[in-house]
Amino acid sequence: MIIRKLFKFENAHIVRGCSSVKCRSSVHGHSYKVEVLFESNYLDNGQMVYDFGLMKQNIKDLVESFDHAITLWSGDNPEYIADMKKHSDRWVELPVSPSAEQFSRVIFFLIDKLFGLTKTKNGEKKVQLHSVIVHETDTGYAQAFREDVYNQQMGIIELEKIAFSDAVVESFNDTALFEKLKDGEEFINPESV
């Protein structure tokens, strides 16, 4: 069975090298919708694959790190990157360009790392992240599956190569969230949410 939780964020970007002129040459924004899909053949003590309420903590914070932020590609022009960081408190820097495709890969990667370190407490069994869908507009979306995320041909994603601005980190409920993720610390689910 597959379950799905929807998140939303507003984000600005520029996508170098794409065919769409407006997209590659002007900073612009989208109201993103992100679908996070989990799967399991088992149900927990509440007869759920995974309680939606549990997704409204660290998973939500990671997805919403992009909210009201500009997303920068570390391969972009260094002057552009420096200027954007100077004029925007909230930014995220990625090792890949912020296309819908790469957003879906990066968000899958972050949630997958977190989930791999999470100890569940309510009888959840064999729950796996199935895919992440990123809707950039009402008409266009990208869906990343596990094989896309760990596919080096699409660009290597590593936690050490992702950077969140101080303002983003300060907006996490647990301001140490990303550091803990990088250190491989265990996350224990609360008994109640």
- Residues tagged active-site: 23, 68, 136
101 binds ligand LPXRUNBV (CB under 6 A): yes
Please, which contacts does 169-175 make with residues 24 or more away whose CB atoms are closer than 8 Å? 171/61, 171/64, 171/65, 171/90, 172/61, 172/65, 173/57, 173/58, 173/61, 174/58, 174/61
Q: Is 47 in the site for ligand LPXRUNBV (CB under 6 A)?
A: no
- Binding flags for ligand LPXRUNBV, 135-164, as an x/- string (CB under 6 A): -xx-xx------------------------
Say whether residue 173 binds ligand LPXRUNBV (CB under 6 A): no
Q: Interface residues for ligand LPXRUNBV in 17-46 (CB under 6 A)?
A: 18, 20, 23, 28
Question: CB 45 → ligand LPXRUNBV: shortest distance, Å?
Answer: 40
133 vs 147, 177, 187, CA distance in Å?
A: 14, 23, 24
